[in-house]
Amino acid sequence: MPDPDLCTDSQERRCRYARFDARVIAASNQEIARLVQQKIFRADLFFRLDVLRIHVPPLRERREDVPQLIDYAIESFNRRTGTRFGNLSEATRAALQRRSWPGNIRELENLVERTLVNSTDPVVDESLMTSGVAEQTPEDERQRIVAALERNRWSREETARELGLSRVTLWRRMTRYKL
């Protein structure tokens, strides 16, 4: 029964309320049970959250998942930005699968996104990745824009969409690079 003090209808004192079922999923990179023992984490909160434990090993221990995670990162980025970036070459995929990934999936997703944004070709090769970080010079950016413009038959709207830029930003960069 709802609390009558919370009702807004003062004449009838009836409330309308909706039932809902909520679940909380919490993750941590630390051992919470140990933190409870050290009195760093509240025990009551721990016992409310500790219904079902799922251990997900770090990415370095499940490298066989890297190819699927790369595909997911590319699809997710394309969907989020409305672009249609290509893919990573097999050599690049193999190099990514060999990495230790101390930053786990976030590091992988950020590297894939950075690499795609900086690429000028539909298929990205390993040379674009410099010690794990794709770096871009002004000349690289100019070449990337020209390549995208050519792929889109110089349609600024399509090129901006592919590059994940607004049309105004693309226009400014075209002006900067005298395109």
Asked whether residue 38 falls in the same domain as residue 66, the answer is no
Q: How far is CA 55 from the centre of its chain?
A: 21
Q: Can you give the pLDDT at residue 131?
A: 41
Range of the structural domain that residue 67 is part of = 58-134
Given its phi and psi angles, is residue 164 left (phi above 0), alpha (psi -120 to 50 degrees) or beta? left
Predicted model pTM = 0.54
Asked whether residue 91 falls in the same domain as residue 46, the answer is no
CB 101, CB 107: distance < 8 Å: yes
Helix H or strand E encompassing 133: strand 133-134
Q: Give the residues of the chain that fall short of pLDDT 50.
A: 1-2, 130-134
Helices (H), 38-177: 43-49, 66-81, 90-98, 104-118, 138-151, 156-163, 167-176
Q: Can you give the pLDDT at residue 126?
A: 65
Domains held by the chain: number: 3
At 38-88, the pLDDT tens digits run 999 999 999 998 988 888 888 889 999 999 999 999 999 888 877 777 778
Q: Which of 13, 39, 55 is the last residue of a domain?
A: 55
